Amino acid sequence: MRYRTSVCGLALAAGLGLGVAQASEWTLEKAAAPYAGTTVDVVFLLRPGYEAAEAMLPEFEEKTGIKVNIVKHPYENALGEQVRDFVAGGDFDIALIDLVWIGNFAENEWIVPIDKFTSNPDLLDPELDLEDFFPLVLNAFGGWGGTIYGLPFDNYSGLLFYNDCMLKEAGFDRPPETWQEVMDIYGPALTRDGRYAYALQSKRNETQSADSFARFLWPFGGSFLDENFRSNLLSPESQAGLNFRQELMKYMPEGIVSYDHAETVNALAQGDVAFITEWSAFYATLKNPETSKIADCLKIAPEPRGPAGRKPALGGFSLAVTTQADEKEQAAAWLFIQWITSKANALEYLERGGVPARQSVYQLPGIAEKYDFVPALVESWQDGVPEFRPRFAEWPEITEIVQEWGTKMMLGEVSVEEGARIIGEQMEAVLEEAGYYAGEKPLIQ
Amino acid sequence: MTVRTRRRTIFGFLGPAVISLALIGIGPLIYAFWTSLHFFNLTKLKKVKFIGLENYGEVLTDPVFWEAMGRTFTLLIIALPLQIALGLGIALILHRPGLGILKTLTRLSLVLPMATTYAVVGLLGQVMFNLKYGVVNQLLGFLGIDPINWIGDPFNAFAMIIFWDVWQWTPFVALVLLAGLTTVPGEIEEAARLETKNWWVVLRHVQLPFLVPGLVAVLILRTADTLKLFDMVFTLTRGGPGASTEFISLMIQRVGFRAFDQGLASAQAIILLIITIILAQAYIRLFYKEV
């Protein structure tokens, strides 16, 4: 493995016009020497992947003398904090970018394309090997308009986490393969005695738009926008998906519109529901007997298929260097990003509870057996949709619209059709104002 | 002391306070007004431009704004009378002679809800009113009542917000009114009680006139606070489910800091400020002149 990665690294270095001898001499310590004593500031979330990275930090700081100052925020505050910091020319040297923020950050020129660093032999780790990242993940999380800005760091795919014991009790020897099976077979059989078949996190925040609304668009052939950037929410496919979600609510716990990730994961962990569709990042919580009653019964599968295929939820973060950082901070920030997302560190990151986006780590012997979410995750990352949620700069405005009306739909305050119509109209108004229809902006999402 | 020296002295005492107030209070207000006259989105700073009163026009014709305003006033109309009624009751009980240590303990415990951080109240609510694990539904279960979906049902979520607002701010009303009751001259109150045993008559004709200043203060402060109510609701329901608890402050925060449209959010905030000032003036004119 070590031999293979070295070869890949050298090949990349050669491709960039670097001498093999120079590449082989590269070490993190040497590269970081001019930046010892530099402090880089970064936002981290309160999630397992970030705890894993934080636990690994002392090694980086010891090797480089670069101090990484972590500012922790819950997800819901992370965008606002960073935007205010960038607008004010603040302190953050590294941007933490949810895939739906990448267009916003790139268009505002708050982040630096990685070319600036990969073209500098003093900063480029010869073993960077961009091709080792899952292509979907690298392009969706870190890329915008054909340029790579960030490297995938905290990576998610939607997975089906299920309580195998509960399924077996009900006579099932496998998890649902399709959404139709969930509706027709698993839902009725598993919703009884105060327990429910399925919990779909649908709280009115990004959870509603990403985890709930979008999850039932794509597998049914729907989407937010058509090729002309007009609303596609009234198409038969989108309507089928949203109506399906509405009907499926009878197999979900009461008050599902108030369920965020914590409540949903907890519902499975406590044995109250048979399965959930959640981000891979919650594996550590559900597998830990201290936080999950069903740790021994937990199994993982890819999300069920719809008529249009699996098209699982795709989410996750990349780390990118900010333009507001000075040259020294930018170099130090890049070295940290390159190190924490490296092939060499992927295994440790995984073992500490993170989910790396390196293909090579999942090919290591024993990994698929030890981490039983791996096969489903790898399969999901082959079949994902980068624009699962549009990644353009207007998403923060559009997600607010989806959150409000998506929740109202679920509550029955508006019909699915009426809600979809309103979201569509308001979404198009935002896009109109942004200049997409006047040809001022390219139709990329 | 010359006139000049006297002016210097006055400025020396007042100047720092006035300058601080201008910097902290007036400065941001002027900036908010300036922002409200511009297209000013934090994620589109290259497009910032003067648009006159366009943001105000958009706010005033936006049904979502008025729905949020309606919700806020519904909360105010329900919660404030409850707080005044309960607060007055508590104040009258505490004003009665006797009760000794109990009275002291009650006064102390009244401070606790007010001293609790708004956001913590919201988090407490999330735990206590949880459908499955919340203590409230556990207690209802002892009474044979089925669990109530507090946070996930629009009507119940609104009721829960009212409950927490009343819980947190009734003690404030009680303490203000208790202070008002202590200003009633003892001999007048005693004479009134000799004249009649009817507590309502004593309250209406003897105590109430002394309570009016406190009541007006309560009305103004609680109205302003309710219009600004944010932290508790944000941590408890985040404005949901749907938009059932999206009060005006949550809406302004959503527009300004989640959609980043600072111009529109500033216009909303300025309109809210105008409404608050009008209400405060109305309270003062109505109550001070008529009582």
Structural domains in chain B, CATH included, are 55-290 (1.10.3720.10)
Q: How confident is the model at residue B35 (pLDDT cuts 50, 70, 90)?
A: very high
Q: Do B240 and A204 touch (CB under 8 A)?
A: yes
Confidence of residue B39 (pLDDT cuts 50, 70, 90): very high
B39 Cβ under 8 Å from any chain A Cβ: no
Q: Which of B43, B129, B161, B244 to mutate to test the interface with A (most CBs of A within 10 A)?
A: B43
pLDDT per residue as tens digits for the range A189-239: 999 988 999 999 999 888 999 999 999 999 999 999 999 999 999 999 999
Q: Report the pLDDT value the prediction gives residue A220, as an integer from 0 to 100.
A: 96
Angstroms from B233 CA to nearest CA on chain A: 13
pLDDT of residue A17: 45
Q: Chain A within 8 Å of B31 (Cβ-Cβ)?
A: no
Q: Is the CB of B241 inside 8 Å of chain A's CB atoms?
A: yes
A398 Ramachandran zone, left/alpha/beta (phi>0; psi -120 to 50): alpha
CB contact under 8 A, B260 and A396: yes
Q: A393: which chain B residues are within 8 Å (Cβ-Cβ)?
A: 43-44
Res. A146: pLDDT tops 60? yes
Confidence of residue B288 (pLDDT cuts 50, 70, 90): low
pLDDT band (50, 70, 90) for residue A247 = very high
The verdict on a CB contact (< 8 Å) between A407 and B242 is yes
The 8 Å CB, 24+ separation contacts for B109-115 are: B110/B171, B110/B174, B110/B175, B111/B171, B111/B175, B112/B171, B113/B167, B113/B168, B113/B169, B113/B170, B113/B171, B114/B168, B114/B169, B114/B171, B114/B172
Could you report the per-residue pLDDT of A291-345, keeping only the tens digit for each? Answer: 999 999 999 999 999 999 988 888 889 999 999 999 999 999 999 999 999 999 9
pLDDT (0 to 100) of residue B199: 85
- Which residues does chain B have within 8 Å of residue A258's beta carbon, measured at their own beta carbons? 131, 149, 151-152, 157, 237, 240-241
pLDDT for B191 beyond 70 = yes
Contact A259, A249 (CB under 8 A): no
Q: How far is CA A135 from the centre of its chain?
A: 14
- For range A277-288, the mean pLDDT: 88
Contact A36, A1 (CB under 8 A): no
Burial zone of A407 (CB within 10 Å; 0-12 exposed, 13-18 middle, 19+ buried): buried
Report the pLDDT value the prediction gives residue A374, as an integer from 0 to 100.
Answer: 87
d(CA B132, nearest CA chain A) in Å: 10
| pLDDT score at A19 | 43
Domain residues of chain A, as ranges? 2-155+316-382, 157-313+387-434
Q: Would you say residue B37 has pLDDT above 60? A: yes
* Contacts by residues A356-359 (CB-CB < 8 Å, ≥ 24 positions apart): A356/A155, A357/A133, A357/A134, A357/A137, A357/A138, A357/A141, A357/A152, A357/A153, A357/A155, A357/A316, A357/A381, A358/A132, A358/A133, A359/A132, A359/A133, A359/A134
Rounded to whole angstroms, the Cα distance separating A225 from A445 reads 9
Q: pLDDT tens-digit profile of B141-154?
A: 999 998 898 988 89
Nearest-Cα residue of chain A relative to residue B46: A108
Q: Considering chain A, what percentage of its residues have pLDDT values greater than 90? A: 73
CA distance B215 to chain A (A): 37
**pLDDT score at B1:** 59
B42 touches chain A (CB under 8 A): yes
Would you state the pLDDT for residue A184?
Answer: 97
CA dist B48 and B30 (Å) reads 17
Chain A: nearest CA to B70, how far in angstroms? 17
* Residue A355 distance to chain B (closest CA, Å): 28
The confidence score (pLDDT) of residue A6 equals 40
Average pLDDT over residues B103-113: 87
Q: What is the distance between the alpha carbons of residues A216 and A194, in angstroms, rounded to a whole number?
A: 25
Q: Does the structure show a pLDDT above 60 at A250?
A: yes
Give the model's pLDDT for residue B5: 76
SS3 B273: helix
Q: Which residues of A touch B (CB under 8 A)?
A: 79-80, 83-84, 87, 104, 108, 203-205, 253-259, 272, 393, 396-397, 400, 404, 407-408, 411, 413
Confidence of residue A7 (pLDDT cuts 50, 70, 90): very low
B125 touches chain A (CB under 8 A): no
> Nearest CB to A411: which of B132, B241, B261?
B241
Predicted confidence at residue A348, as pLDDT, reads 96
Average pLDDT over residues A255-261: 89
What is the mean pLDDT of the segment spanning A64-74?
96
How much is the pLDDT for A24? 57
Mean pLDDT of A70-90: 93
A97-106, A120-129, A279-288, B67-76: least confident range: A279-288
Strands A39-45 and A92-98: parallel
Q: How far is CA B119 from the centre of its chain?
A: 15
Residue A436 has pLDDT above 50, yes or no: yes
pLDDT of residue A15 exceeding 50, the answer is: no
Asked whether the beta carbons of residue A404 and residue B242 sit closer than 8 angstroms, the reply is yes
**What average pLDDT does chain A have?**
91
Choices 3.40.50.2300, 3.40.190.80, 3.30.360.10, 3.40.190.10: CATH for A157-313+387-434? 3.40.190.10
Task: Write out residues 208-237 of B within 8 Å (CB-CB) of A.
Answer: 237
Q: What is the DSSP letter of A306?
A: B
Within a 10 A sphere around the Cβ of B50, how many other Cβ atoms?
A: 10
Q: What average pLDDT does range A84-98 have in this prediction?
A: 95
| Intrachain domains A2-155+316-382 and A157-313+387-434 with the same fold | yes
Most confident range (mean pLDDT) of B19-23, B54-58, B273-277 is B54-58
The pLDDT of residue B99 is above 80: no
The CATH number fitting domain A2-155+316-382, selected from 1.10.8.190, 3.30.70.330, 3.40.190.10, 2.60.40.420: 3.40.190.10
Distance from CA of A310 to the nearest CA of B (A): 28
ipTM value of the model? 0.76
CB under 8 Å to A307, separation ≥6 — which residues?
A219, A220, A221, A237, A240
CA distance B56 to chain A (A): 18
Backbone φ and ψ for A152, nearest 5 degrees, come out as: -60, 135
pLDDT of A180 above 90 = yes
Query: Model confidence at B132, in pLDDT bands (50, 70, 90)?
Result: confident
Return all residues near B284 (Cβ < 8 A) that are at least 6 apart. Answer: B216, B220
